[in-house]
Each structure stands twice: as structure tokens, then as C-alpha cells.
Amino acid sequence: MLLECLNREGLGGWTDSTFNQGVTSRKKTQTSDIRQEIESKQLDLKGKKVLCLAGGVGRCANALRQFGCEVTNSDINKQYVKMGKRLYPEVKHIQYDILGDPLSGYDYVVNENCWGNPMSWKMNLGICRKWKDYATLLPTTITLKIWKFNSKQLSDWYKQEEEVGTQHIEDYLSHGAILGHIPKFWLQDLEEKDYVIDLTNPFIKIPECTTHDYQVFGRWMYGLPDWLMGLFVNKGYKEKFSNYNIFSKKPARKNTRWKLPNKEN
Ligand SMILES: C[S@@+](CC[C@H](N)C(=O)[O-])C[C@H]1O[C@@H](n2cnc3c(N)ncnc32)[C@H](O)[C@@H]1O
């Protein structure tokens, strides 16, 4: 089930911390992932100053207190800062825009956007690069999935009598131009593999899928465990990130087959 708020106010969208769909699952995942990272790296956070970015009302920040650190939660939204002060009074809450300049005085910075928006490479890398001389940024990796599958339902849905239309859509499904939200019961012959992106040395290189009709790069949806969400990358996907700039425009997607008719014709 997917719910959509029609008046587009208050509810929904990635910008919502507390009233969104799948919130409990997302918050649980990010809290347990960040705990796991701290424990597996045996980081000693005792007495350290930790800042959570885009932290909503501060649930994750509050959970991090168990490591004996002094935690500050930050969010751009004044309402969440206010709610956070009431809900998690042991955490310090500040209003802060992740697009702004980094702040001094923190030992660790937790970029919660890596869970809310894991496929927003530009944003997450920009944050990583911006903070690297100020604090140790966590998480250092983002784990996504690569799925290969066939899907009669999906093929029936977009394939059409006119070859030009089918080719146009297949072209978009080739290189990461389409983000899909797909229920598991639409998938046949499903294979799943983890794909880890190291934010300190990032690159993505996914080869073309030759064994199945479809290949998708993404993650299971929070709160909807039988739905996957990701980019269709049937012919593979590459990102080098060498000149990535947080303020630069999104790179154009490849669309080789469909050409607008020549004006003279
Ligand atoms: C999907 S919510 C996740 C919040 C939190 N990580 C949680 O799990 O509750 C995304 C959060 O990012 C905040 N946000 C959006 N744009 C931001 C920005 N430019 N700077 C800081 N926070 C921002 C929103 O206000 C919202 O609380």
C-alpha cells in the first residue's frame, strides 16, 4: 500500500521526520545501523561531541547517548527542533541547514540523510567532503542492493504495439533514468546482492545484466518490506564522482535510441 497526502502539506515526502510513511522502520534501521557501525569499528565515543545532521526530532541522537557521548541533534525545520526539545530533552537541539558551512567543535558527525536519501549521491558526498576537515563523518559506507529479476507484469505493463514506444522506455530502463517502486509479487527469478559504497573513496560500477530482463539498484522500502525501490540499470551503471559538487546540476541521463524527429521532416 502506498499512501499519498493530497493537500501536500504536513504529511509525506522525504522532508518529513515524524508524520511520513515507513517512519518507524526507517528510524529503527538507521539507529541500529549507526550503533552497529560504532560497535564494529570499536569507536570510543565516551565524552565525545557528536552532531546528527537532518535528524528530525532527534530519535537517533537520543539513542546515541548510550555510548556516553554528548549529542546534538540538528534539523532545518524549526518545528522539529521545537518538538525534539520536548521529546528528547537530554539531547541538545539546534536548527542547521546541511547545505550550510560546517560547524567546528564536534568530534563525530552523523549524516542521517544517508538513510533518508541513500541514493542522493551528490548530497551525501558533498556533505562527506565538506565535513572531512572538521569531524569524523559517519556512516562511512552506504549499503544498497542489486536485484536481477524477470517480471511478466512489468513487461506487460510497458510493452506496446509500437516498437518505438517500447524501445524508448527500455532505453530509460537501461542506465538509471527511472526510479521504480515495485512489489515483490511482480518479480520472478529474483537474485539479490549487497553493493557497498565507500563514501571516503566512492565509485559505482555495475555491469550490464545479461541473465535477467531487469536489474535494479536500490533498497527495500522502509515499512514495506516486500517492496523494493531503486534505479533501473539493465545495461549497467557507472559514477566516478571525481568532480562532484554539492551545488552542481544532476548529470544528464543517457538516452540514445529516441531522437526527436528532424525539424525539416
Ligand atoms: C526523512 S526525514 C528524516 C529525519 C530523521 N533522520 C529521522 O529519521 O527522523 C528528513 C529530515 O531532513 C530535514 N531536512 C530537509 N532538508 C534539510 C536541510 N537542508 N538541512 C537540514 N535538514 C534538512 C527535514 O526537516 C527532515 O526532518
Where along the chain do its domains lie? 23-139, 144-239
pLDDT 10s digits, 155-179 = 999 999 999 999 999 999 999 999 9
pLDDT over 80 (residue 1): no
Work out the average pLDDT over 134-149: 95
84 lines ligand 1 (CB under 6 A): no
15 lines ligand 1 (CB under 6 A): yes
Of 151, 155, 126, 128, nearest to 141 (Cα)? 128
State the burial class of residue 97 (Cβ atoms within 10 Å of its Cβ: 0-12, 13-18, 19+): exposed
And the C-alpha cell for 220?
527495500
Q: What is the pLDDT of residue 248?
A: 45
And the C-alpha cell for 89?
530533552
Q: What is the pLDDT of residue 59?
A: 92
Atom of ligand 1 nearest to the CA of 116: 1
Backbone angles phi, psi at 125, to 5 degrees: -70, -40
Output the CA 208–ligand 1 centroid distance in Å: 34
For 23-139, give the CATH class. alpha beta
Least confident residue range of 15-29, 145-159, 204-218 = 15-29
Nearest CA to ligand 1 atom 2: 17
pLDDT over 70 (residue 11): no
Q: Which of 113, 115, 138 to mutate to test the pocket of ligand 1 (most atoms within 8 A of CB)?
A: 113
29 lines ligand 1 (CB under 6 A): no
Amino acid at residue number 205: K
Q: What is the pLDDT of residue 23?
A: 79
pLDDT over 70 (residue 192): yes
Atom of ligand 1 nearest to the CA of 112: 6
CA–CA separation, 204 and 198 (whole Å): 9
98 lines ligand 1 (CB under 6 A): yes
pLDDT 10s digits, 86-137 = 999 999 999 999 989 999 999 999 999 998 888 888 888 889 889 989 999 9
56 lines ligand 1 (CB under 6 A): yes
pLDDT 10s digits, 230-264 = 999 999 999 887 765 544 444 444 444 444 445 44
- Cβ neighbours of residue 262 under 8 Å, at least 6 residues apart? none
Q: What is the pLDDT of residue 243?
A: 60
Which position has the grid cell 517502486? Answer: 181
pLDDT 10s digits, 52-77 = 999 999 999 999 999 999 999 999 99
Output the CA 141–ligand 1 centroid distance in Å: 19
Nearest CA to ligand 1 atom 13: 54
Is-cis flag, bond preceding 183, omega within 30?
no
Q: What is the pLDDT of residue 194?
A: 97
CA–CA separation, 262 and 258 (whole Å): 12
Q: What is the pLDDT of residue 247?
A: 43
